[in-house]
Amino acid sequence: MAHIIEKLIDNFFAPEGGPKDGEKIKINTVIAKAALVYEKIRNAVDYQEDHLVRKNAIHRILKRKLVYEKLVMENYLLDKFHNENMSEQLLQELIRGRYISNDVSVGMIAVVDEIVKKYNQLLSRVKEMEGQLEKGMFDYFLELAAVEIEQTLIPNKKDKALINAMFSALNPRVKLQNSDIDDKERELQVYLACHRALSKWDTGMLRHLLLNLYYPEWKHADDALILRLANSIGKVVPEFEKQINHPWQKQFQKVMQKNIIIFWAIRDIMEANPKTVRSIFADAELLETEIKKAITKRYKGVYAKLQRGVVRSIIYVFFTKMILALAIEFPMDWYIAGAINYFTVAVNIIFPPFLMFVVAIFIRMPKKENTERIIQEIKNIALADGRGAVYELKDPKRRGQTVRFMFNLIYSISFVFSLFVIFFFLNKFDFNVVSSLIFVLFLTLVSFFGIRIRRPVADLLAIDRKDNFIGSIIDFFALPFVSMGRWMSNKFSKINVIAIFLDVIIEAPFKLIIEVFEDLFGFFKEKKEDVLSE
């Protein structure tokens, strides 16, 4: 058995750390049900990747408590707002929303509190030095705090072990041609790409990773380290962004993308066979049998995830479309034509979810040759100590200004032509300008969501899919819509009116009422125990 697999098994099955024993944080189960319903509604109106929901919930709760609640309390109720129980309330909210299990130790409150204080101290230092916090800086580090809290509550020991194994196996095989970056920077980009591909880390999580790589003692930072980071903040933040948006990062990402399923299969085998895992990875025939089992199960799991993603996307698109119809389309129809065109409204409401359904139907699962490649690669890692094909990466293309202009012009013409055809046919069915614009708006969003929900299937591919002529033509005309959909999805996620309304107007008072009732039920329980003990 190869050294990479030996080390992976040791780290993968190492015991977890952190406070677990002792008294558990308690919540009222009746109150928790009401909170859980709200969290499900809140997540339904804000489309997020499954693995980011908990981190984003922590970020949202921290922001509400440190910004919205503080603002209301100080302006209307108190001279100064002190939320001494914020960490406890944060953990209680996460338990009620089922973001974490209900067996969290009371000792974890102090651990989370130290993280919050650390980032608060850092921002206070920056504000003292700069006179004020730059726009976005508070939220930048608040997200890092959310990442650190999540990783403390749910240690990613197994993920970390797998990422390190992926890095060890692939780093020596990634070579750069005609590159001016040194080996240290190349290794950093490979490491970041492993996190992006294998664990789907977003920008905030990658920033936190870089923070710990550049400042290894940050987890237990003292006053001196916090002050040193505050002094360097003007250089540190741009450096992080430079590494995250590195010119070569897409090249590395493509390499890691083709190896995701290989390491996921290795993980599945280890989790299914904890007692016999060493003997499996030492026997080629037994290993191949287990790989086939793991891949079959993984394919079925991704298919189920695909179905859930389609349902969530359809719900999100449908409700967003209904709100736009009531807020814009109905009034504009009445204003322009003096009557509501129920046909165009119905088409605009029904077509986007139907298109999402059609997109899902035509998603193809991987074929036999994909499984064969996975088997061969895992054997290379387990029995040949990671030896395999070398990935020679070429310098990202730097096209001249004239060539870029011509390509962008062709790209734009294809988009305009597609729009012209769509508007022409919509006009034939009596769509007015507003209805047509809304139709195109949701066509672009559905095109982008179609790409997103197919991502789990793309993660199963260890080989490149072959392009065909018809597919290339469709891509040529569809790509501008996908790009526009991605842009609008990113913009809408920042100005999601429903989510903002829930966060600012509904969530703060609702969660405050939840906490009051939690305390009230706790008080009644104490009184009951006092009476029964007499």
Complete DSSP assignment for 270-323:
HHH-TTTHHHHHT-HHHHHHHHHHHHHHHHHHHHHHHHHHHHHHHHHHHHHHHH
- 243-300 residue pLDDT tens: 999 989 999 999 999 999 999 999 999 999 999 999 999 999 999 999 999 999 999 8
Question: Residue written as tokens 């059609």?
Answer: 358
pLDDT at 240 over 90: yes
- Taking a C-beta distance cutoff of 8 angstroms, is the pair 298, 268 a contact? yes
Supply the pTM of this predicted model.
Answer: 0.78
String of DSSP letters for 194-218:
HHHHHS---HHHHHHHHHHHHSTTG
In a domain, 399, yes or no: no
β-strand partners of 175: 392
What is the number of domains present in the chain?
Answer: 1
CA end-to-end span of the chain, whole Å?
66
Q: What is the pLDDT of residue 449?
A: 72
In a domain, 428, yes or no: no
Question: Residue written as tokens 């070398």?
Answer: 390
List C-alpha distances in Å: 154 to 1, 11, 52: 30, 16, 13
The DSSP secondary-structure symbol of 507 reads I
pLDDT at 53 over 80: yes
pLDDT higher for 370 or 77? Answer: 370
Q: What is the pLDDT of residue 505?
A: 59
The range of the structural domain enclosing residue 534 comes to 18-154+495-534
pLDDT at 69 over 80: no
Q: Per-residue pLDDT averaged across 462-474, rounded? A: 64
Burial class (CB in 10 A: 0-12, 13-18, 19+), 461: middle
CA angle 41, 45, 49 (to 5 degrees): 100
Longest CA–CA span in the chain (Å) reads 89
In a domain, 280, yes or no: no
- 5-14 residue pLDDT tens: 999 999 999 8
- Taking a C-beta distance cutoff of 8 angstroms, is the pair 503, 64 a contact? yes
In a domain, 312, yes or no: no
Least confident of 143-147, 320-324, 409-413, 430-434: 320-324
In a domain, 142, yes or no: yes
pLDDT higher for 327 or 122? Answer: 122
Q: Collect all residues with Cβ–Cβ distance below 8 Å to 465 and sequence separation of at least 6.
A: none
In a domain, 160, yes or no: no
- Taking a C-beta distance cutoff of 8 angstroms, is the pair 138, 98 a contact? no
Q: Collect all residues with Cβ–Cβ distance below 8 Å to 103 and sequence separation of at least 6.
A: 20, 24
In a domain, 500, yes or no: yes
- 328-351 residue pLDDT tens: 666 776 766 666 777 777 777 777
